[in-house]
Structure 1
């Protein structure tokens, strides 16, 4: 075993030789790789990536790996990317990075904090507009009709389902008239069947 190699699963190391990489160096390498990956994703209209996929890609691209859970380090990487985009006047590439359920979640709020903006009621719609800006900025072929930017598929599906459910609940359901249990003729208002008395 090489003296400087990582002996625990929580550290970072270079893939080529297994030499330990200080966490500060690793996060810088991952953030640079994340910015490049997200910039590439932004060249395709409607494209996005999950946090876990991004974590895998940045490790492969940078050559710096870790066995630490993604949740323990990826938020710091996304914050670095958000700061870089903000300082450079670029749209927030971190809007392209979503959780498994296709939502941007709380990590996207950092983009708004950097810009000094209030947290909107609909964070997902705000992120959709930010993705739209990323696609434009990075040269994606944009659709001819420039309506409302699309939500991610899972978010859009949940909203359609919730909307359909709300519409179904809002419709008054026709009430069935009471019928006689013996002859199945509609009962009068008195509730007593005149034919089966």
Structure 2
């Protein structure tokens, strides 16, 4: 089997693996895990190192996602250190987008888009980075700055919309009270 035919078979399998991965919020797959699964699913095996062929497969998946107007599933595939692969920049090239300063954060938003499209129960807020990237950055959740006041809703009079005193009785609308 030619390399081209093999990458087509692997790309079809990779698309399925990434679709399955996108159905569970926060899940992602490493390059090596993806390589093993696509070889198993397609029945096409190779002894070549993963790094020599998986980017070609991910590029095919990226083109398929772009042409089908799907979210970029390739954002779900990361290296062992949980950073996005070099092929992720190809997603940006396909969309004619500039390479952002923070590629990992951009990929986190892309993964969130995948979870939102194919998964269920996607929480609102800022999409999380992968665990190893977040640990390296020391970012778990943004903390509230010290001394920042808690935002409370002020009670106002239903008739004149003036802020009510602690008694809850408007001094302008009910001056006798």
Q: State the TM-score bracket (shorter-chain normalisation).
A: 0.7 to 0.9
Q: 2:106 aligns with which of 96, 107, 126?
A: 126
Is 1:78 equivalent to 2:82 in the alignment? no
The SS at the match of 2:45 is strand
Q: How many residue pairs get matched?
A: 139
Shift of 1:24: 1.5
- Mapping of residues 6-155 of structure 1, within 5 Å: 21-143=1-123, 146-155=124-133
Unaligned ranges ≥5, structure 1: 1-20, 162-197
Shift of 1:22: 1.9
Q: TM-score, normalised by structure 2?
A: 0.77
Contact 1:42-1:96 at 8 Å conserved across structures: yes
Root-mean-square deviation (Å): 1.0
Q: Structure 1 stretches (4+) deviating beyond 2 angstroms?
A: none
Bigger Rg, which one: 1
Shift of 1:49: 0.4
Unaligned ranges ≥5, structure 2: 140-177
The SS at the match of 1:26 is helix
Q: TM-score, normalised by structure 1?
A: 0.69
